[in-house]
């Protein structure tokens, strides 16, 4: 039996088609805009699909995000109401997001930008060693991604705080929760890594007030979503010296527009939403299993709670 | 009772004096070249002391390196024969060496140089995600430093190999040993991190033959000693494309001379021997305990085996 599903993404479909064949030979991947008879499509594996596309598939049994976020699905006003939605929590992508945060945090912690500038001038000058046990990193958001990112920092010896909406427990990580605890958490944290889900509650959460609570010269790493940040507030915090630097992988509008001040700001590192791309080899296994589960009416892995929004 | 010891280093002695006072108030730290009556000095805590200095201290009971390496002590032809020597294995410095290797390895793995160049041109372009579980890192040298460095890579999910003179076991790390196993280990390793001790056996071990065994485009990170590397061979391997990049924290002559080709080579990252500086807060505790142990004739922490050379 052939099970036909639709793939929509800007990434090269080749490695995905191969990985799905390896994962489940009965799956047939159609690459948008090719889709044959829309009535034969039973699942959609999508990243930022055109609005209305999902609603045009009458026999859809599963909407599967190609990323951990589903805000791009809820942005579509015509997203079909009765179809279950699943997030993709690829363990490799999650580990990669940790690696990305670790790389940039270590760069700030060890002042690698200074050493890079010194090399350009052939200058040999060591700086006093920083004390990672007394350097605090806060991870905002403690779902599957936040747990892994916080764990990576903790295992490297940093003092690690976590903050989330509801109470969580992670070995070796000092976890706080609820809106009231946010500013106190930021106040202790030299480096803040944002991995929150984007919801009405978390939009604009990283604003002037939040930055003002951080220690002067602190650093922000955003690998969640652009709308978590109030852009003008961030630029002001960087220009005033309140923040020492920001590494941004996500933006309100992607691709980041030419001419946007982030591209050229001396304290901003921009990357093109690459911190945690899913790896076809591991992710296709999970999606294939979810397609089978949806058709059989069984529970899904990482099913989205529509009311909560993630 | 006051116990007088001599400090010799180019680093600011202030934080060390404070840390020694905190660690053991009876210790009196003399900062070279001030040392009062040489006969009253019972221990020397040194980094690259002038040759003959140690021999000029008639009542020396302990020579304590200010780093994990002791080659700088054996370089002194007059180093007193009967005095025990200890290495400084500061847990914070060891963790920092891991962080340094992780930072540069992640930079290579994720091609952060490409993203940095793209930002400079306001270019938004993602690269295919690399697979860290299928990226092999080899750590050469599996003493206290190598174990920690290999463990950090392993815990981040990289396939991690270890290579050492004698057989070692580390959880999750595929350990090999002996001269015969070196080339086969290098042949599997996209990223090689050198933390070997410098001895007659390991000098020049990273040479043209070694580089030729690595996969084309591999990366070298040297946080051990400069003389492990045959410099001309490294430059040739980089220029031919056999190696994709090298991060060098240590050199045959330090500071690295102005005009040395490493400073300006596009594939070489130079840092001023800062990968793992000991932290006074933690290191002074260990040195203070060793001074007490040496005076009491008790076993030392990290005592050097003079025959083995480390």
Complex prediction ipTM: 0.94
pTM: predicted TM-score of the whole model, two decimal places? 0.94
The active-site residue, picked from A48, A132, A265, A273, is A273
Please list the active-site residues of B.
Answer: 225, 273
> What confidence score (pLDDT) does residue A38 get?
97
pLDDT at A307 over 90: no
Summary mean pLDDT of chain B:
97
The predicted pLDDT at position B220 comes to: 98
| pLDDT range class, residue A92, cuts 50, 70, 90 | very high
**Distance between CA B53 and CA B86 in Å, rounded?**
17
Does B181 have pLDDT greater than 90?
A: yes
pLDDT at A114 over 90: yes
Total number of residues shown for chain B: 310
Is residue A284's pLDDT more than 90?
Answer: yes
Residue B308's pLDDT is what? Answer: 85
pLDDT at B87: 96
Predicted confidence (pLDDT) at residue B307 exceeds the cutoff of 90: no
pLDDT score of A310 more than 90: no
Q: How confident is the model at residue A84 (pLDDT cuts 50, 70, 90)?
A: very high
Tell me the pLDDT tens digit for each residue of B100-145. Answer: 999 999 999 999 999 999 999 999 999 999 999 999 999 999 999 9
pLDDT of residue B178: 97
Query: For A271, which of B115, B254, B274 is closest by C-beta distance?
Result: B115
Go through B126-147 and write b for each residue having 16 or more CB atoms within 10 A of its CB, e for each that does not.
Answer: eeebbbbeebbbbbbbbbbbbb
- Per-residue pLDDT of A132-150, as tens digits, reads 999 999 999 999 999 999 9
**A266 contacts in chain B (CB < 8 Å):** none
User: Which whole number is the average pLDDT over B37-55?
Assistant: 97
Q: Quick check: A107 contacting B, CB < 8 Å? A: yes
Helix (H), strand (E) at residue A154 = helix A144-155
Burial of B55 (0-12, 13-18, 19+ CB in 10 A): middle
Kindly list the residues from chain B whose CB atom is less than 8 angstroms away from the CB atom of residue A12: 128
> Model confidence over A214-226: pLDDT tens digits?
999 999 999 999 9
pLDDT beyond 90 at B1: no
Nearest to B266 by CA among A22, A120, A45, A46: A120
Copy the structure tokens of residue B206: 């990273």
The shortest CB-CB distance from B272 to any of A112, A125, A278 is to A125
Nearest to A103 among B92, B112, B258 (CB): B112
Q: Is A281 considered catalytic here?
A: no
Phi, psi of A213 (to 5 degrees): -80, -20
Average pLDDT (B226-245) is 98
Task: Kindly state the average pLDDT of the residues A143-161.
Answer: 97
Task: Let me know if B216 is exposed, middle or buried by CB neighbors in 10 A (0-12, 13-18, 19+).
Answer: exposed
Please enumerate, as own/partner, the contacts of A45-50 that have beta carbons within 8 Å and a separation of 24 or more. Answer: A45/A5, A45/A6, A45/A7, A45/A8, A45/A9, A45/A287, A46/A6, A46/A7, A46/A8, A46/A9, A46/A73, A47/A8, A47/A9, A47/A10, A47/A11, A47/A72, A48/A8, A48/A9, A48/A10, A48/A72, A49/A8, A49/A73, A49/A76, A50/A8
Cα–Cα distance for residue pair A79/A195, rounded to 1 Å: 25
Tokens linked to B244 = 């994709």
The answer to whether residue B281 neighbours chain A at the CB level (below 8 Å) is: yes
pLDDT at A220: 98
* A110: chain B residues, CB-CB within 8 Å: 96, 99-100, 103, 274
Q: What is the mean pLDDT of residues A121-129?
A: 96
- B-chain residue closest to A279, CA distance: B129
Which residues does chain B have within 8 Å of residue A108's beta carbon, measured at their own beta carbons? Answer: none
Query: For A99-166, where are the E strands, in sequence order?
Result: 136-140, 159-164
pLDDT at A309 over 90: no
User: Is A225 one of the annotated active-site residues of the chain?
Assistant: yes
Closest to B152 (Cβ–Cβ): which among A15, A131, A156?
A156
Distances (CA, A) of B3 to A142, B26, B30, B281: 51, 6, 10, 19
Angle at A30 between CA A24 and CA A33, to 5 degrees: 160
Helices (H), chain B: 14-23, 71-74, 91-109, 112-120, 144-155, 182-187, 208-213, 231-240, 261-264, 280-295
Percent of chain B at pLDDT above 90? 97
Residue in B126, B253, B258 to test binding to A, most A beta-carbons within 10 Å: B126
Q: Do A122 and B258 touch (CB under 8 A)?
A: yes
Task: Tell me what pLDDT residue A22 has.
Answer: 97
Interface of A with B in 182-241 (CB under 8 A): none
Asked if the Cβ–Cβ distance from B274 to A109 is below 8 Å, we say no
Residue B274 to residue A129, Cβ atoms within 8 A: yes
Between B92, B155, B274, which is nearest A131 by CB?
B92
- Cα nearest neighbour of B152 on chain A: A156
Q: Is the pLDDT of residue A288 over 90?
A: yes
pLDDT at residue B203 in the model: 97
- Tokens coding A66: 């190609």
Q: Is B266 on the interface with A (CB under 8 A)?
A: no
User: What average pLDDT does chain A have?
Assistant: 97
């Amino acid at each position: 039996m052939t099970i036909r599903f639709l793939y929509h993404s800007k990434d090269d479909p080749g490695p995905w088609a191969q990985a799905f064949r390896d994962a489940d030979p009965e799956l047939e991947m159609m690459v948008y805009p090719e889709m044959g008879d829309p009535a034969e499509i039973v699942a959609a594996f999508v990243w930022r699909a055109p609005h209305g596309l999902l609603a045009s598939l009458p026999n859809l049994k599963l909407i599967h995000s190609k990323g951990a976020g589903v805000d791009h699905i809820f942005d579509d006003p015509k997203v079909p109401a009765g179809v279950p939605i699943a997030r993709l929590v690829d363990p490799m992508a999650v580990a990669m997001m940790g690696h990305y945060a670790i790389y940039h945090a270590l760069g700030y912690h060890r002042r690698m930008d200074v050493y890079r500038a010194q090399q350009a001038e052939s200058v040999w000058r060591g700086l006093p060693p920083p004390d990672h046990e007394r350097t605090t990193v806060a991870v905002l958001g403690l779902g599957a991604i936040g747990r892994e990112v916080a764990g990576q920092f903790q295992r490297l010896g940093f003092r690690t705080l976590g903050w989330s909406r509801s109470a969580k427990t992670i070995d070796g990580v000092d976890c706080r929760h609820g809106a009231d605890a946010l500013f106190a958490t930021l106040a202790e944290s030299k480096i803040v890594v944002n991995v929150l889900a984007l919801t009405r509650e978390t939009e604009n959460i990283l604003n002037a007030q939040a930055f003002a609570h951080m220690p002067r010269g602190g650093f922000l790493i955003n690998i969640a979503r652009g709308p978590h940040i109030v852009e003008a507030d961030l630029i002001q915090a960087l220009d005033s010296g309140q923040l020492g630097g920001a590494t941004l992988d996500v933006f309100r509008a992607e691709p980041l527009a030419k001419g946007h001040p982030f591209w050229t700001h001396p304290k901003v590192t921009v990357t093109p939403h690459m911190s945690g791309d899913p790896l076809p080899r591991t992710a296709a296994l999970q999606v294939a299993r979810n397609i089978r589960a949806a058709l059989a009416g069984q529970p899904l892995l990482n099913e989205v709670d529509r009311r909560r929004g993630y």
